[in-house]
Structure formats: structure tokens, C-alpha cells
């Protein structure tokens, strides 16, 4: 297996994982809701979220780890400086997954690991990759045959881009990559060649 690099401040990543032995990690609507609530509570202070999708046995997120200054500015009034200096983005994600797994195990009356370890992460290093990954994540339900139309699948950030309600997604920045909401929607409607993205994911698993 390739060396797992720690998440670095100021960089963009594709974060993804699945259940152990591809088992389902979401069973009820409350599972999805709790996972997202926990995600934005634990990860929101340390990362900007560009896109996400939750499937029954796996999930994808595209995030930018905030700079240390951004995190300090966000948390300085609620956390001691010493604790801020010890913040570790990789550990923050790991702790989030552990917290969800514990709640899931209590619900399902089971023991043991829920998700594969370590969680997968891939550095996103070009504008084209940014755009392709946003589309890939949103089209995941279509790719897996769960939905025929993106708007019919409730557990993705695709809907946030067309809502007037406040959103925890950094949608203005993402839309700037596509020039407009219309272009954003058109790009999502087209069939996508996912060869390069899946090759990146395979490289992480080698």
C-alpha cells in the first residue's frame, strides 16, 4: 500500500471511504442526517466543503483544508491556543469517522470497525481535476444506478447549488470554476469519462 500522507493546511482533497467488506454504513434517513450533522460540526471548523455525496456503503467529499490562520481565526474565541496548535486535520477526520461508527454500532447493536482504515485521501492539484471531481461526486448515484436524475437523489450537495437557503457548501467558489449556474448544470448532465478519477483512486489503494 502506498504511504498515507497527512492532510496539509491550505490544500484541496478528495476524501472517500466505504464500509468494511463493502457493508452498508447508512440504513435509515436518520443515519444520513446524523452523519452530515456530525460532519459539519467536526469538520466545518477546519475545512471548506465543495461537494459531497453519501451512498449506502460509501461516501465522497471534496474539501479544502483551511490554513492554520483561518482555523485560528475561526476557533480562537472558543478554544485554547495550546489546543489549537495541536489540531491535526487527519486526526480530526479520523475522530469524526470514529464518532459516527460508535453511534452506528450502538444503533445496530454490533461491535467492531465500520469503515475501512485508513480513510482515503487524494490531493486535488489542477482546475480541471477540481471540476471533474465535483461532477463525479454529484453523479455518483447515477453512476451506480441508484438514480436516473441528479435532482432525485437527496443525499448529495448538488441541491445546495440551486437553493436560496444558507448552505455550508462553498458554492460561490465552485460556481466560479464553471462560470455560471447554467454551465454547472449543463456539465452535470453530460456523460462523464471517469477513467482518470478512478485511476487516481486505484493508485491510493495499491
pLDDT for the residue 87: 74
**Cβ–Cβ < 8 Å for 104, 31:** yes
**Cβ–Cβ < 8 Å for 118, 6:** no
**Which residues of the chain have a pLDDT value below 50?**
1, 204-206
Instruction: Give the ranges where the chain is alpha helix by DSSP (H).
Output: 29-42, 68-75, 81-85, 89-108, 127-138, 140-143, 171-178, 181-189, 195-205
Report d(CA 80, CA 192) in Å as an integer.
Answer: 46
80-99 pLDDT per residue, tens: 555 555 678 999 999 999 99
13-53 pLDDT per residue, tens: 999 999 999 999 999 999 999 999 999 999 999 999 999 99
CATH number attached to the domain at 12-205: 3.30.70.1290
pLDDT for the residue 2: 52
Burial (0-12, 13-18, 19+ Cβ within 10 Å), 182 = exposed
pLDDT for the residue 1: 42
Report d(CA 18, CA 20) in Å as an integer.
Answer: 7
Q: What are the residue ranges spanned by the domains of the chain?
A: 12-205
pLDDT for the residue 79: 53
Amino acid at each position: 500500500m502506498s504511504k498515507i500522507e497527512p492532510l496539509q493546511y491550505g490544500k484541496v482533497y478528495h476524501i472517500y471511504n466505504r464500509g468494511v467488506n463493502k457493508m452498508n454504513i447508512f440504513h435509515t434517513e436518520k443515519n444520513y442526517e446524523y452523519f452530515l450533522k456530525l460532519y459539519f460540526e467536526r469538520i466545518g471548523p477546519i475545512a471548506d466543503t465543495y461537494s459531497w455525496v453519501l451512498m449506502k456503503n460509501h461516501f465522497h467529499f471534496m474539501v479544502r483544508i483551511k490554513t492554520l490562520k483561518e482555523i485560528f481565526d475561526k476557533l480562537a474565541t472558543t478554544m485554547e491556543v495550546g489546543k489549537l496548535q495541536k489540531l491535526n486535520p487527519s486526526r480530526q477526520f479520523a475522530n469524526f469517522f470514529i464518532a459516527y461508527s460508535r453511534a452506528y454500532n450502538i444503533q445496530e447493536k454490533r461491535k467492531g470497525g465500520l469503515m475501512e482504515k485508513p480513510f482515503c485521501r487524494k490531493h486535488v492539484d489542477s482546475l480541471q481535476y477540481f471540476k471533474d471531481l465535483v461532477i463525479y461526486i454529484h453523479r455518483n448515484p447515477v453512476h451506480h444506478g441508484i438514480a436516473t436524475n441528479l435532482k432525485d437523489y437527496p443525499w448529495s450537495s448538488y441541491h445546495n447549488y440551486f437553493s436560496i437557503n444558507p448552505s455550508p457548501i462553498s458554492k460561490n467558489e465552485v460556481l466560479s470554476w464553471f462560470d455560471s449556474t447554467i454551465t454547472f448544470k449543463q456539465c452535470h448532465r453530460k456523460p462523464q469519462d471517469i477513467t482518470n478519477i478512478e485511476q487516481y483512486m486505484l493508485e491510493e489503494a495499491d
